[in-house]
Structures are given as structure tokens and as C-alpha cells.
Homo-oligomer: A and B are copies of this chain.
Amino acid sequence: MFPDSPPASWPTHLAELWGNGIPLAAAMGVVIRRLDEEVLELVAPLGPNRNHMGSAFGGSLQSLATLAGWGVALMAAGDPDASHVVIRDAQMRFRVPVCGELVAAAAMPTPDAIAAFRAVLVGRGHARLTVPVTIRGPNDTVAARFVGEFVASVADS
């Protein structure tokens, strides 16, 4: 649980997971910009994520939002070596094109919500968490909204 902020080791841990284990994250140039008790914010440059019209490719936006939501779900589950997290459902609404850096901000659950999620995970061996992610454009406008449902399972010991 994060009474104040997530453990300082998480940014390094997530970056290693993505850097070593998810080639697409490396191809996209994903970087963690912010991680605290409120949000996990990821950014990626437009270059490798552009489409033929010069704006961000919809698949890149879905991928960035998925990584952000998945990161939040993994942190909410607690020990990354003791649980697996997979995505079950994804919904994304695209409002306006993103013509610069891609920014995805996944909302961190409240401490109470994290506690409830972990209680179900320990009690049943699996638990669901819904994570909203916002893609922002210039002047902090909302360019797209993503909602991911993630399922955590206790890993085989």
C-alpha cells in the first residue's frame, strides 16, 4: 500500500520490465515522467509513433495507455514477483489528433481502493481493477480517454 507515495524502486522496476520484456515499448520510446500517489505518467516522442498523416497512430496511443494502466494495476497488486497482471478489457475514445509528444496519465487508486483490491486478490487469488487513463494534447486539453480493466492473479509459488 502507498500511504504517501509508491516505493522509490518502482520507476526502475517498470522501466526494466518494459525495456527488457516488451520490445514495442522500447520501439515507441516510452519514458516514465511522473510516478507518485496520484498518477503514473508516461511519455513517448511523436517520431516513432506517428501515422502517415503526421499525428499519433491510434495503436501507439492505445499501447501507451495500456502500459500506463497496467503499471498502475501491477503497483496496486503490490509485490511484482508475487502476482501477474493482464489486461481484460480496453476502451478508448479518440477526441482530437495528437500532433506532438504522446502523454498518458493513469490515475492511481486511492489507498482504500488499493487495500480493497489486495484483500480480494489475497482472498480469492485474483482481483479486477479498472484504471482510467487520460491522453493530453497541447494546452492540457484531453485528446483521448482510455479505460482498462486489469486482472491480477497470485503467481504460482
Residues of A within 8 A of B (CB): 17-18, 20-25, 27-28, 47-53, 57-60, 62-64, 66-67, 70, 84, 86-94, 97
Which residues from B are CB-within-8-Å of A52? 17-18, 20-22
In the complex formed, the residue of B with least CB distance to A95 is: B88
Determine which of B22, B27, B48, B60 lies in contact with A51 in the assembled complex, contact meaning CB atoms within 8 Å.
Answer: B22
Tell whether, in the assembled complex, residue B62 and residue A49 are in contact, meaning their CB atoms are under 8 Å apart.
Answer: no
Which residues from B are CB-within-8-Å of A21? 50-53
Most-contacted residue by chain B among A23, A48, A97 (CB, 10 A): A23
CA distance A66 to B90 in the complex (A): 13
Q: How far is the CB of A87 from chain B (nearest CB, A)?
A: 4
